[in-house]
Amino acid sequence: MDRRDFLKLAALTGAGLAVPDGINRFAGMVAASEKVDLVVAHGASPSAITKAAIDAFGGISRFISRGDIVVVKPNMAWDRVPEQAANTNPEVVATVVRLCYEAGAKKVKVFDRPVNDPRRAYVQSGIQAAAATLGAEVSHIDERRFRDIRINGVAIKEWPLYTEILEADKIINIPIAKHHSLAKLTMSMKNWMGVMGGSRNMIHQRLDESLVDLSRFLKPALTVLDAVRVLTANGPQGGSSSDVKRLDTVIVGVDQVAVDSFGATLFGMKGSDLGYVRLGEKTGLGIMDLSRLNIRKIST
């Protein structure tokens, strides 16, 4: 029984009314935070909207417990600067790192397996500096730490995955929303390519299935989709400022399919335009239909 089922059950049986006071209050708290499936925050400051979105989603302590080892997984795959919108916004990443530590996380780790040179991707994205000053452990991928993992997916049966993400207590996925010629858009589900070892380029042969396989296996505690700046063409690395659109938006959710489905609307598309979102809904990974979701929009 997941949280959603619990709520339905609670509503049906009126259990909330029947239980004693203390538990009632607990249920009420859960219900208050559960009401929301996605928070969409809009505002000029990337760090303020990130914090506001997470707060409106029930606060970081709903997801991070004292003593947790947290992996915060941004997209920093490219040798590009923040203005080019190819990597996750460094302020968004830094804010999540800060909130994790405030919630008592023991250690926050930040890494990605870039496509371009890792040193340049880490530095030029601005993420290394922003996260490290807040005490995050920003490390480069250590090839020895990949292990062949059976994930028994549809397209991917077994693949070398980065053990540091598998060993973490909690994972927070912080992708950026961008154009991509095959996936059309890349958001949270495609961000898992950054923890794949080996010749991950092969998964483009069955991209949608592969992304759903990975997303089902990795199960982040929270997803924060950065749409402060989005890349509307020539993705996933762009380069021209004319392809960058400033949306000043951050989307927070747990359901990866829902996050990506909402993300599509930022580009004038629908979730159903994206193969991996459709497949994600079909296979029960999450909800694509936005009308079935409780989306809370806030401005700061």
Q: Name the site residues for another protein (rule: CB under 8 A).
A: 79-80, 115-124, 128, 140, 144, 180-182, 199, 201-202, 204-207, 234, 236-240, 243
Instruction: Considering the complex, state which of residue 44 and residue 202 has its C-beta at the smaller distance from another protein.
Output: 202
Least gap, CB of 194 to another protein (angstroms): 14
Least gap, CB of 133 to another protein (angstroms): 16
Tell me the C-alpha to C-alpha distance, in Å, between residue 263 and each of 1, 61, 98, 159, 252. Answer: 28, 25, 24, 28, 11
How far apart (Å, rounded) are the C-alpha atoms in residues 272 and 243?
23
Helices and strands in the chain: count of H runs, count of E runs: 11, 12
Instruction: Considering the complex, state which of residue 181 and residue 291 has its C-beta at the smaller distance from another protein.
Output: 181
Instruction: Considering the complex, state which of residue 92 and residue 138 has its C-beta at the smaller distance from another protein.
Output: 138
- Cα torsion at 152, 156, 162, 164 (round to 10°)? -30
How far apart (Å, rounded) are the C-alpha atoms in residues 37 and 254?
7
Cis, peptide link before residue 90, omega less than 30° from 0: no
How far apart (Å, rounded) are the C-alpha atoms in residues 74 and 32?
29
Beta bridge partner(s), residue 81? none
Residue 215 burial by CB count (10 A; 0-12/13-18/19+): exposed, middle or buried?
A: buried
Instruction: Considering the complex, state which of residue 80 and residue 170 has its C-beta at the smaller distance from another protein.
Output: 80
How far apart (Å, rounded) are the C-alpha atoms in residues 117 and 77?
8
Least gap, CB of 80 to another protein (angstroms): 8
Least gap, CB of 204 to another protein (angstroms): 5
- Angle among Cα 272, 85, 108 to the nearest 5 degrees reads 90
Contact (Cβ atoms closer than 8 angstroms) between residue 116 and residue 123 = no
Instruction: Considering the complex, state which of residue 89 and residue 128 has its C-beta at the smaller distance from another protein.
Output: 128
Least gap, CB of 240 to another protein (angstroms): 4
In one letter, which amino acid is 10? A
To which residue do tokens 């062949």 refer? 148
Least gap, CB of 156 to another protein (angstroms): 15
Least gap, CB of 181 to another protein (angstroms): 5
